[in-house]
Amino acid sequence: MCYCLPAKPNLHSKALTNGHIGNNYSNFIEADVTNDPNDDDYDYFFSIDENLPPGMTYHEQGQRVYFSGTPTQAGTFNFKVRLTVDTKYNYDNRFCFGDDTITKEFTIVIQ
């Protein structure tokens, strides 16, 4: 039985900067695991639901998902970032793990 607060993934809320057609764009969203001081002991897997602005892509690196590219279309682009975490090590029930996935909506405005 678990007598602790469950560890769970967390996507930091962040207003992403606006971009401009034809100009290079770069930004990131950071993640961690709440209620576990060893949040580096997890593998972080990101995916994007819905569309990023045309001309932009994303890549994962550790606890961050990076957005980059040269936008080719103006507009307001809403998308969801899904984060799933998995432990790198067997902790022998050292902690309680709650839900292993979180999804949060973000927006990039291209002018």
Query: Residue 90: what are its φ and ψ, rounded to 5°?
Result: -90, 115
Domains of the chain by range and CATH? Answer: 8-110 (2.60.40.10)
C-beta separation of 86 from 9 below 8 A: no
Residue with the larger pLDDT of the pair 64 and 5 = 64
Is pLDDT at 34 greater than 50 in this prediction?
A: yes
pTM of the model: 0.85
Render pLDDT for 46-63 as a digit per residue (tens, 0 to 9).
999 989 999 999 999 999
Render pLDDT for 68-105 as a digit per residue (tens, 0 to 9).
999 999 999 999 999 999 876 655 444 556 568 999 99
- Region 10-34: mean pLDDT is 96
3-state SS, residue 41: helix
**Given this model, what pLDDT does residue 3 score?**
56
In order of 15, 41, 79, 80, 100, the CA distances from 72 in angstroms are: 21, 38, 17, 20, 35
**Given this model, what pLDDT does residue 62 score?**
93
